[in-house]
Amino acid sequence: MQLSKNLMQTNRKAKKNLSRYLILPAIIFVAIITQIPFIMTIIISFLKWNVKRPDMPITFAGFDNYIYIFSDSNFYRVLLNSFIQAFVSLALCTVLGFLLALLFNRSFKGIYFARSFIIVPYFVMESVVGIIWKTLILSPSFGINQVVANFFGAEPIAFFSSGLSLVTIIILIVWQWTPFLFMILLAGLQNLSEDVIESARIDGAGGLSMIYYIKVPMIKNYFIVGMMFGLINILKVFGLVFVTTQGGPGVSSANLPYYVYRTAFYDWQMGRSSAIAVITVVITLIIIQSFFNLMKRRQKGGNVA
Amino acid sequence: MTAKEKRKLKSNLTTLATWLVSIIYAFPILYMFITSIKPEEKVAPPRWDFTPTLENYAVVFSDELFTHLFNSVIITLITVLLAILLSLPAAYSIVFGNLKKAESYYNWFITTTLLPAVAVVIPIYLAFNYVGVLDTRLGLILLYTGAGVPLMIWMVKTFFEDVPYEIIEAADIDGCSRFTSFFKIVLPLIKGGIFSTALLVFITTWNEFFFAVNMTYSKSSTLSVYLNRFLTQQGFFWAKMSAAATVVVIIPIILGFFTQKTLVKGLTVGAVKG
């Protein structure tokens, strides 16, 4: 009896040992595609390398690329754009997503269809979002923009001029990413227990106070998750900028990903572009880490109160 | 009016408002679809007295579109398949493999999704150029699989966790090999979750733009890149442009309807547990 039990245990252990190696192919593959190239990017960022000029040798440049970037006024503009773009969009997406979630947190006939209408933009590719907004909707000559302007007897708004291009990019990001926050926050609201809502109602909470004191704190975790992933994705936005403004006029609507692309594939400066990429990653990690810490502190503070 | 009637009226009005909001929100997409069935001369400036037509679609369905549609389909399907083949064993290993640092492997996969594409694009471009896979379907498949695997592991792990470990232990005791028990017991339990996750990887791959635009220029481009080129070439023919765009987005939109639940479940599972 004892013997067979031991035998069974070794057998089971062997099985466990075997399944432990099943993770290896995925790790190796992902490392080759993501980690090794990133290390290469760091190395290239210390080189002077113009790929379109094979006659010019690839030379070690030390910190030259970084010094160049940090003394480039365009870079600071792009950096500021990225911050504004990320945080303004995220704030708007969250507020709008939550309001929509409140509106949809009930049941009526056809709710599934109505909800799908809100979610659609999230599943549409960035290049299409950019193209239809640029032409059909916001074009000052034949877009809905012009129809609306005519209706009010005003001049159509020049959405792609230097003063407004960043705002326009933000509008497009908000349109595409609000559905994401909406889905997650709605899941949170639907997960709230009826009892809590009911007892709060008996205690006299209703309308706004119910939302502010009961619902928001209770789905705090959903806010954190939604905002974190929203932020990660909004920091990566590229296609929208690429197909609408090309970062312009000038660099007025360029963000960091677009600037990396332009330095690499317009100026062919591989070293400089890699340096901007490295800075982008560092900034991304700092933003996400500090955002995460902030949220965590908030969460703890909330629990005490 | 009784209180009950009042409540009913209020509910109906809210429903009406909800519908209005939904339609306004989806307006750009709806308008794109309407434009795609308008004759070209009714598009700019927009006029509403038109008879629906399919002529734009007839023009748009050219050999070129089919080439890129074929690229998108092949690249996306192979990516999804490879992602499943690599991710399922890995997720199994994380949940049931008794790994020492299962949680940190899992977190490592998630952090790789944080890495912006620009952080890797230059060395990959240079390497692809060197090896000769620039502007090939293989190149994009490799990149997309690299991005799809972490996403898939992330989502699928939660489904594996729903499978009670006792079932697998019982199968062990019955002398069932782990291989057999995976296919006979675990897989049937979570196949719905895997399917929706695969749809999610399908959508993100189908819609990917950054690598597609940088790693391909003509023959291997996916639909997202083709559409952008179509706009620069035919930017004044909005009806045809809308028809092409409708063709491109219809698949992810339909699939999106089926995968919403998984997406939300996968993302918020941490939030629910607190």
All residues of chain A having their beta carbon less than 8 Å from the beta carbon of residue B93 are 19-23
Angle at alpha carbon of residue A184, lines to B164 and B161, rounded to 5°: 10
Tell me the CA end-to-end span of chain A in Å, nearest whole number. 58
Q: What is the pLDDT of residue B107?
A: 87
Phi, psi (deg, nearest 5) at residue A13? -60, -45
Model confidence at A31: pLDDT above 90 = yes
Cβ–Cβ of B224/A16 closer than 8 Å?
no
All residues of chain B having their beta carbon less than 8 Å from the beta carbon of residue A265 are 214
Cβ–Cβ of B109/A8 closer than 8 Å?
no
- Structural domains of chain A ordered from first start: 72-304 (1.10.3720.10)
Q: Using an 8 Å Cβ cutoff, are A175 and A118 in contact?
A: no
Considering only CA atoms, which of A186, A17, A169, A7 is closest in space to residue A89?
A: A169
Q: Using an 8 Å Cβ cutoff, are B111 and B154 in contact?
A: no
Cβ–Cβ of A281/B227 closer than 8 Å?
no
Strands A59-60 and A47-48: antiparallel
Q: Among B21, B146, B270, whose Cβ lies nearest the Cβ of A103? A: B21
Q: Per residue in B69-88, pLDDT tens?
A: 999 999 999 999 999 999 99
C-alpha pair distances (Å), A248 with each of A32, A77, A206, A260, B64:
35, 12, 48, 14, 30
Q: Per residue in B193-231, pLDDT tens?
A: 888 889 889 999 999 999 999 898 878 889 888 888 887
CA distance A266 to chain B (A): 11
Considering only CA atoms, which of B13, B95, B115, B225 is closest in space to residue A243?
A: B225
Residue written as tokens 């199968």?
Answer: B171
In our burial notation (b when 16+ CB lie closer than 10 A, e otherwise), range A24-44 reads: eebbebbeebbbebbebbbeb
CA distance B148 to chain A (A): 9
A4: confidence class by pLDDT, cuts 50, 70, 90: low
Q: What is the pLDDT of residue A62?
A: 85
Give the integer Cα–Cα distance in Å for B64 and B240: 14
Kind and range of the H or E run holding A178 = helix A165-191
Across the range A114-126, mean pLDDT stands at 92
Give the integer Cα–Cα distance in Å for B113 and B19: 35
- Structural domains of chain B ordered from first start: 3-55 (no CATH), 61-273 (1.10.3720.10)
All residues of chain A having their beta carbon less than 8 Å from the beta carbon of residue B147 are 33-34
CA distance B257 to chain A (A): 7
Model confidence at A124: pLDDT above 90 = yes
With a CB cutoff of 8 Å and minimum separation 6, the contacts of B114 are: A232, A284, A285, A288
Model confidence at A12: pLDDT above 80 = no
Considering only CA atoms, which of B118, B263, B137, B136 is closest in space to residue B195?
A: B263
Contacts 24+ apart (CB under 8 A), A69-72: A69/A272, A69/A275, A69/A276, A69/A279
Q: What is the pLDDT of residue B186?
A: 87
Across the range B172-186, mean pLDDT stands at 82
- pTM here is 0.88
Cβ–Cβ of B150/A126 closer than 8 Å?
no
Q: Using an 8 Å Cβ cutoff, are A178 and A93 in contact?
A: yes
Mean pLDDT for all residues in chain A:
86
CA distance A232 to chain B (A): 6
Return the residue in B22, B125, B181, B213 with the most chain A beta carbons within 10 A, the one to mutate for interface testing: B22
CA distance A66 to chain B (A): 15
Q: Per residue in A196-240, pLDDT tens?
A: 888 888 887 777 877 877 788 888 888 988 898 899 899 999 999
Q: Among A23, A35, A118, whose Cβ lies nearest the Cβ of B25? A: A118
If one compares A61 and B28, the residue with the highest pLDDT of the two is B28
Mean pLDDT for all residues in chain B:
87
Q: Per residue in A172-192, pLDDT tens?
A: 999 999 999 999 999 999 888
Cβ–Cβ of B123/A183 closer than 8 Å?
no
B274: confidence class by pLDDT, cuts 50, 70, 90: very low
Q: What is the pLDDT of residue A8?
A: 54
